[in-house]
Structure 1
Amino acid sequence: MSDRSDAVTLTVSGVSKPALTVESQSSVFTGDSVTLRCEGIQSQNGWEFLWRKDSNPESTGAATKTINSVTVSDGGEYSCRARKREYYTDYSKPVAVTIYEKPKPKVTIKPALHVFRRETVTLRCDIYDEGVTSWSYYWYKDNSRSVFSDGQKHTFSSVTESDAGEYSCKGSETEGSRWSQTSDKVKLTVSDPRAVLSVSPQKWLTEGDPVTLICEVHSFSTGWTFSWFTLTDSAENRHQYNLLSDSSRGAGGNYTVSSAVNHTGVYVCRAEREKSVYKTQHSNTQQLWVTGVSPPVSLIVSPSRTQHFTSVSLSLSCEDQSNSTGWRVRRYTDSGRLEDCSSLRRGSRTGSTCTISFTYASDTGVYWCQSESGEKHHPVNITVHSGVILESPVHPVTEGDHLTLRCLYRHTTAPNLRADFYKDGSLIQNQTTEMNITTVSKSHEGFYSCKHPERGASPKSWISVRRVSNEHCLFDSESQMCVLNILSSVLAACPYLLVTVVLIFRCCRMRGKT
C-alpha cells in the first residue's frame, strides 16, 4: 500500500446576497439613462446574474444593467441575484426606481401678452416638479438657440417694439445634470397706439357753422379718455400745447364747437388709458379756419389770389382802419411750422406788411392776421405751385355776387389756359378760358381746381360763400340776392299789413257810428 496523502481542508461557506445600487439617483426623468449594479459577487468566478422588476419574470444579464432613454413604464422595484450552476443566492434588497415625465416649464407674462410701449413687463418661468428642489433658468427669444437671459424672471422696465417676440424658457438641475423640456413659446406684442385727429364736416368754416373734432385710437377703441389742446409756439419758437379749459367735453372722443372766429387755430388731442396707465403721444394736427362775417381786419394778398407761382414775390398785409399797427401776419405751413411771416430768411416785415421776396412750394400754408393779444382773423389758404394754378378770390364771396375763375400758366404768351374746371373733384365745365358763376349761392361753396390736358392740373382752393344779411342789403341794394331778400321780407310782411289795415278800417267805422 502506498503512503497516505497529505490532508486537504475543504471549507464550505454560505454566499452572501448581492447589493443593488442605482447610478446616479433613484429618481430620473424620461429620456435619461439609468444604470443598475448588482454588487458583491465576483462574476469572473462563473456567476451569472438574474434581474427582476416588480413581479415580472426574471431576465439573465450582466452584473451591470443600463436602460437608455427611459420611459415612465421603466419605473418600479428592481432586485437581482446570482446563480452558479444549480446554486442561487438570495435576492438583493429591492430598490425603487421612479421615472418622472421630464417637466415642462410654463411662461407667464405680466401685466398682459399685449402691452403698450414704455410699460414695465415681467417674464416668469415656473417648473412644477416634485423630484427637483432647485433649478437654474434660461430664456430664449424667437427661434434663436442663444440664451437671451438667465434667471427665473426677466423684467423690461420700459418695453419697445423691438422687445416684441416669442419667448420660451428651459431649466437645468442646480445640483445635477438633468434638464427640463423647453416651454411652449409665448408671444409678447408691443404696440404704440396713436391718437388720430380728424375734422367733420370740414376745416374751412364760416362763423357760426358747427364743427366736430374727432379723436380716435385705432385698434384700441375702448377704455380711453381724451384731452384737447391748441398748438402755439413759445418764445424759443418751439411748439407749445395749451390744454383747453373745457376739454372734458372730449371724453367720448368728440369735441364739438359752434364755430366762432376765436376758434381759428391748430388743434391736437391725446388719449389716456387708466387701466394700463398709458398716455399716447400728441396726435396729428388739425386746423380750424373760421372766416368772420365782418372781420375787424382784412388780410390783403398781392397778387390778389390764393394760388401763386414759385420764384416770385408775394406781399401780405393786415389792414384795419382803427389800428393797423397792432396786427402781424402769421402762418401755419403744410410741413407743420407755426411762425411769423417775417421770421423767414426770404421774408421782411414793415409795419403790418410781410413780403416774401422769392416764393417756394414750402411757403404753402394758411396765413392770417393776429393781434398782440392773440386774436386771429381772416385766415387765407395760400398755395405756391410751379405749374398750373387757379385764379380764385382771396376773400369769401357774398351770396348773389358774380364769380370768375381762370386757369393760369406763366410759361405761355397768354397766361389764360383753355382748361377743364372741377368742384369737389367733379367736372363742372370743360375747355374754356374762364368759368363764370353769375349768381353765387351757398351751394357753390367748395374746393375748386382746373386741369389742362398738357400742362397738368392746379392745386385745389377752397371758395367760401358768405350769406347775405338784411343789414348788408341796406348798404348794397343793387345785389340780386339783396333784392330777393327785400322782396321776400315784404311778401312775408304783407299778411300782417293787410290784417292791420282791416282792423283799423273796422275800428274807424264803429267809432263813426257811435
Structure 2
Amino acid sequence: MELSKLPLVLLLICNIYSGQTEETEGSGILQLSNEGPRAVLSVSPQKWLTEGDPVTLNCEVNSSSTGWTFSWFTVILSSVIICIFSLNTDLSDRYEQLSDSSRGAGGKYTVSSVALKHTGVYVCRAERGKPAYTKYSNTQPLWVTGVSPPVSLIISPSRTQHFTSDSLSLSCEDQSNSDGWTVRRYTESWGLTDCSSLHQGSQTGSTCTISSTSTLDTGVYWCQSESGEKYHPVNITVHSGVILESPVHPVTEGETLTLCCLYKHTSPSVLRADFYKDGSLVQNQTTEMIIPTVSKSHEGFYYCKPPERGESPKSWISVRGSHSYSQISVLHTLTSVLAACPYLLVTVVLIYKCCRMRGKTPE
C-alpha cells in the first residue's frame, strides 16, 4: 500500500468503528450513504482573519431550516488519534462545547471582533426534539493573525509553499525565551496533531523538523503554549510541481512585495510565468512580480502559471496596517484639536463677557 494513502485508510477504519459513516469532504475517502438530517457549517467572510476583524459561522440543516437549536464546538483531537490510541467511540471526546454556545442559537455564531483565542477548528450540531441530534457538521477552521504576536513561527526555507521530499524546519521564537512552545498543525488527512506524531517529523524543544515533506504535510501550522494559547498560524502547502515563493509573514503597508515562480527540476529554478490575483491576470511572462508599495487592496490569493508546467497552488497574501501610518493619523488628529483650541477659548470668553454685560444693563 502507498504510504500517502495510509491516513485515509486509517480514517475510514476509525469512522466505521466509531459509527461515523458520513462523507468526509475533500478527503477522497469512500463515501458511505447516511440517511437523516445533516448539519453543514460555513464561514463568512473568510477563514483567514486579522485581529479585530468580524466573522460569522453559519450552521444549516440540509433537510429543514425551522425548529432547530444549535450547539457550537471546537475540535480538540482528530478521529484517527482517538481511534488508534484510546479506541474510544464516544465522539463527544473529540469536541469541546463553546462556553457561550447559546449565543449562536439562530444558526449564526457571530464574533464582531476576533482575538487570537478564536484561532481553532469549529463544528456545529443541531437538535430538534429529544434526542434528535444531527451528526457533527463538517469542520471549519478560523485562523487569526495577531497585530504583534508574542511569538513568531520561523520557517526554513522562508516561504509558504514547498517542494515534496524536501527538509522543512519550523521554530517558535519568543523575544524572551522559546521554552514552553510547541508546533502544532491542522491538515485534511490527520486533523489536529503535533510535530512528533508526523511520519517524518521530530520535535526538539520548540523546533519541528520534517526530514522529507509530502503532500500530506499540507496544512496550517502554529505555535501553541502549554496553556493552549495559539499564535501565528501559517498555511503551508507541499506540492510536487510548480510553487509560488511568497512571504511567510503578513506584509506591512508601504513595503515592497516580491513573488517568484519556482520549479525544482530546472536550473535556474526561477521560471518566467504569468501571475494571478484572485483568479485575474495581473502580470504576464516575467521572472518575478514586484509591487513596490503595498496597500490593503493588494491583499488576496496569488498563484503563478508558467508555460507548459501547470500552475502553482494559491497562497493568501495578508497586508497589515503600518504603525507609522497610525502614528501620523493620531498626530494629525491632535494637531487639529490643538489648532482649534485658541478659537474655542476666544469664543467662550466673548460669550461670557456678553452675558455679564447683559446682566449689568439697567431695566
Measured against the shorter chain, the TM-score band is 0.7 to 0.9
In structure 2, how many angstroms separate the alpha carbons of the residues matched to 1:445 and 1:214? Answer: 24
Quick one: structure 1 residues 302 and 502, their matched pair in 2 at CA, closer, same or farther if it must change by over 3 Å?
same
Q: Please, which of 259, 264, 267 is the counterpart of residue 122 of structure 2? A: 267
Query: What do residues 425-446 of structure 1 show as CA deviations (whole Å, max 9, x unaligned)?
Result: 1111111111111111122111
CA contact (8 A) 2:220 2:236 kept: yes
In structure 2, how many angstroms separate the alpha carbons of the residues matched to 1:446 and 1:377? Answer: 21
Shift of 1:323: 3.0
DSSP-derived class of the 1:279 partner: coil
Q: How does 1:10-409 map to 2 (within 5 A)?
A: 191-233=35-77, 237-238=81-82, 240-257=94-111, 258-274=113-129, 277-409=131-263
For structure 2, the 5+ residue unaligned runs are 1-20, 22-33, 83-92, 350-363
CA contact (8 A) 2:234 2:248 kept: yes
2:297 is the counterpart of 1:447:
no
CA contact (8 A) 2:49 2:145 kept: yes
- 1:332 maps to a residue whose letter is Y
Shift of 1:337: 2.0
TM-score (norm 1): 0.56
DSSP-derived class of the 1:440 partner: coil
Quick one: structure 1 residues 504 and 230, their matched pair in 2 at CA, closer, same or farther if it must change by over 3 Å?
closer
In structure 2, how many angstroms separate the alpha carbons of the residues matched to 1:466 and 1:318? Answer: 21
TM-score (norm 2): 0.79
In structure 2, how many angstroms separate the alpha carbons of the residues matched to 1:503 and 1:278? Answer: 67
DSSP-derived class of the 1:216 partner: strand
Quick one: structure 1 residues 272 and 506, their matched pair in 2 at CA, closer, same or farther if it must change by over 3 Å?
closer
Partner of 2:89: none
DSSP-derived class of the 2:270 partner: coil
How much identity, in percent, do the aligned residues show? 73
Structure with higher RCO (Cα < 8 A, 6+ apart): 2
Shift of 1:284: 0.6
CA contact (8 A) 2:164 2:214 kept: yes
CA contact (8 A) 2:196 2:203 kept: yes
Query: What do residues 60-84 of structure 1 show as CA deviations (whole Å, max 9, x unaligned)?
Result: xxxxxxxxxxxxxxxxxxxxxxxxx
Q: How does 1:455-466 map to 2 (within 5 A)?
A: 455-466=309-320
Quick one: structure 1 residues 336 and 443, their matched pair in 2 at CA, closer, same or farther if it must change by over 3 Å?
farther
Query: What do residues 321-373 of structure 1 show as CA deviations (whole Å, max 9, x unaligned)?
Result: 22311101000112242111122131111110010000000000000000110
Partner of 1:499: 340
CA contact (8 A) 2:200 2:210 kept: yes
Quick one: structure 1 residues 242 and 456, their matched pair in 2 at CA, closer, same or farther if it must change by over 3 Å?
same
In structure 1, how many angstroms separate the alpha carbons of the residues matched to 2:136 and 2:98? Answer: 14
Count of residue pairs brought into register by the alignment: 306
For structure 1, the 5+ residue unaligned runs are 1-159, 161-189, 474-481, 509-514
In structure 2, how many angstroms separate the alpha carbons of the residues matched to 1:457 and 1:191? Answer: 39
Partner of 1:180: none
Aligned-residue CA RMSD (Å): 2.4
DSSP-derived class of the 1:233 partner: coil
Shift of 1:407: 0.8
In structure 2, how many angstroms separate the alpha carbons of the residues matched to 1:269 and 1:507? Answer: 60
| Greater per-residue strand proportion | 1
Shift of 1:498: 3.2
Q: How does 1:415-426 map to 2 (within 5 A)?
A: 415-426=269-280
- 1:440 maps to a residue whose letter is V
Shift of 1:505: 8.9
In structure 2, how many angstroms separate the alpha carbons of the residues matched to 1:363 and 1:213? Answer: 27
| Greater per-residue helix proportion | 2
Quick one: structure 1 residues 277 and 322, their matched pair in 2 at CA, closer, same or farther if it must change by over 3 Å?
same
In structure 2, how many angstroms separate the alpha carbons of the residues matched to 1:236 and 1:416? Answer: 39
| Larger-gyration structure (1/2) | 1
In structure 1, how many angstroms separate the alpha carbons of the residues matched to 2:310 and 2:78? Answer: 41
- 1:498 maps to a residue whose letter is A
Quick one: structure 1 residues 361 and 503, their matched pair in 2 at CA, closer, same or farther if it must change by over 3 Å?
closer
DSSP-derived class of the 1:278 partner: coil
